[in-house]
Structure 1
Amino acid sequence: MSNLVIKNLHVSVETNEGDKPILHGVDLTINPGEIHAIMGPNGSGKSTLAYALAGHPKYTITEGEVLLEGENIVEMPADERARAGLFLAMQYPVEVPGVTVSNFLRTAKTAIDGEAPALRTWVSDLKDSMKALRMDDDFAQRDLNTGFSGGEKKRNEILQMKLLKPKFAVLDETDSGLDVDALRIVSEGVNSVHGETNVGIALITHYTRILQYIKPDHVHVFVDGKVAESGGAELATQLENEGYDRFL
């Protein structure tokens, strides 16, 4: 099936004191085109879910399955998961001095597709995508995330998603550190990619403000490493009014 299915997922993270269990049996299904908002207090396991799905080596899946279009990707390294159609927009994008945004993106596109895009088409696609995210032309020649503002880093993550065209995307607190204008621009970029590609999205966030721009089909409350409650968009409004106290 063309969906992302998480079954009974248990995950431990590597710490100085040894492996620490974080996720305790997460079940979640994301169908193409669906937007799932994953909300919860600090330390509830939301980012652990993101990194475990992407294949971060410090996050070990100890039990359960992650099925992408029916194939269990748990044993796949991160690059194979990306080629299978999974994308992670990081909360804290890494700075890479000496590697330009343009070179990074074309290398990533080549790795995902298995062949380099035609140069003329690539330049046109890159310019159009940057324009949609209100990026200056010289942005492509800057070193990846080096000296970028918070808004520039997050827009660059969405630029990657726009060009790589994944089947399913995990957006880890894409709204953190953004002012109102940057939040609107990033949200417009996410909605644009969603409309163009029908990508399934897991949107991890603490707050409902991004949900004013990106409308979720489903909302899940994460507490103590598992889904405590699921509902529609109205659940996010309830959380905004009441907080997480009743789950703690």
Structure 2
Amino acid sequence: MSLNIQDLHATLENGTEILKGVTLEIPAGEIHAIMGPNGSGKSTLSKVIAGHEGYIPTSGSITLDGVDISDLSIDERSRQGIFLAFQYPNEVPGVSNANFIRAALQARLPKGEEIDAVAYYKNLYAQMDLLEMDRKFTARAVNEGFSGGEKKRNEILQMIMLDPRYCILDETDSGLDIDALKIVAKGVNSMRSADRGMLLITHYQRLLDYIKPDYVHVMSEGRIVRSGGPELALELEKDGYEFLKEAATA
């Protein structure tokens, strides 16, 4: 059981190649982190996995628990168990948080089956308490007028409620102060499971102080160029990406 990416190439709509042969396997039960300089392709990788229409795979494959999802739509990939937490979550005016999450859950049920409203709100409130979110947020429009930290907590709330098999977090730590980071990390850690894989995309080692990865990968110029254990993140924090420049001039 794994999210398996093999020799993945992808371009922007204008034909610019961003991913140049990414190979990565994330088994269920493991947390992998990807780090790398700006423009290395980290966020593009997350969007291609999720099926974003602005990023076009040109070769390679993405399989989920042995099933090729490369040609599936965003919605179909979500139903298969993929969740992407955005670096910059969008606002959805006019749609309350509670109704948004409930509609997403309802869409996953067999035709004719309805969500148990009492059980739904009991779970929703429990997860909001975990994330230290005021329950008034259930009635507020999705992310509208939210602070950066509130938006990120709301993303984690959606992730917990949807209970995906593979979670991709694209720079979820971006813009968070230390208190908000700890709360977000607590929510992510609550989802650690032998049946769930996670991919963390981050610039900074500090996130990995709170969410301990099993493996760390370095991405540069559209490829994964180095992999290691959690100690690799500490090395990058100390020495930066100088080794990439040295490799390019060697």
**What does 1:154-169 align with in structure 2 at a 5 Å threshold?**
154-169=152-167
Instruction: Give the distance between the partners of 1:29 and 1:209, measured in 2 at CA.
Output: 24
Query: Could you tell me which of 19, 30, 36 is aligned with 1:34?
Result: 30
Measure the CA separation in 2 of the matches of 1:101 and 1:225: 36
1:107 aligns with 2:103: yes
Alpha-carbon RMSD across the aligned residues, in angstroms, is 1.0
Counterparts of 2:109 and 2:215 in 1: how far apart (Å)? 31
Gaps of 5+ in 1: none
User: Which deviates the most, 130-139 or 109-118?
Assistant: 109-118
Q: Which residue of structure 1 lines up, in the alignment, with residue 133 of structure 2?
A: 135
Q: CA deviation at 1:116?
A: 3.6
Q: Number of paired residues?
A: 243
CA distance in 2, matches of 1:71, 1:133: 33
Question: Partner of 1:9 in structure 2?
Answer: 8
Deviates more, 1:223-232 or 1:109-118: 109-118
Per-residue Cα deviation, 1:132-185 (whole angstroms, up to 9, x for no partner): 100011011001000000111000111011111100010000000100000000
The answer to whether the 8 Å contact 1:82/1:112 transfers is no
Q: Is 1:209 matched with 2:209?
A: no
* 2:57 corresponding residue in structure 1: 61
CA distances 1:16-70 after superposition (whole Å, capped 9, x unpaired): xx22100000000001110001000000000000000001100001000000011
Which amino acid in structure 2 is aligned with residue 167 of structure 1?
R
Aligned to 1:117: 115
Could you tell me which amino acid in structure 2 is paired with residue 40 of structure 1?
G
Question: Secondary structure, in 3 states, of the residue corresponding to 2:133?
Answer: coil
How far apart, CA to CA, are the structure 2 residues paired with 1:105 and 1:40? Answer: 33
Indicate whether 1:84 and 2:83 are aligned. no
What's the CA shift string for 1:53-106, capped at 9, x where partnerless?
A: 001100001000000011110100000000001110011111011000001000
Secondary structure at 1:61 match in 2: strand
1:112 positional shift: 2.8
In structure 2, C-alpha distance between the alignment counterparts of 1:107 and 1:194, rounded to whole Å: 25
What TM-score results when the alignment is normalised by the length of structure 2? 0.95
Gaps of 5+ in 2: 246-250
For residue 248 of structure 2, what is the aligned residue in structure 1?
Answer: none
1:112–1:164 contact (8 Å) kept in structure 2: no
Report the Cα offset of residue 247 of structure 1: 1.0
Contact 1:37/1:219 (<8 A) preserved: yes
Alpha-carbon distance in structure 1 between the residues aligned to 2:90 and 2:177:
20
Which amino acid letter does the alignment assign opposite residue 217 of structure 1? D
Distance 2:58 2:109 in 1: 30
TM-score of the aligned structures, taking structure 1 as reference length: 0.96
Paired position in structure 2 for 1:176: 174
Decide which of 93, 96, 121 is 1:97's aligned counterpart. Answer: 93
- Amino acid corresponding to residue 150 of structure 2 in structure 1: E
CA distance in 2, matches of 1:28, 1:102: 35
Query: Structure 2 residue aligned with 1:242, among 228, 236, 239?
Result: 239
SS in 1 for 2:43: helix
In the other structure, the counterpart of 2:229 is 232
CA distance in 1, matches of 2:106, 2:126: 19
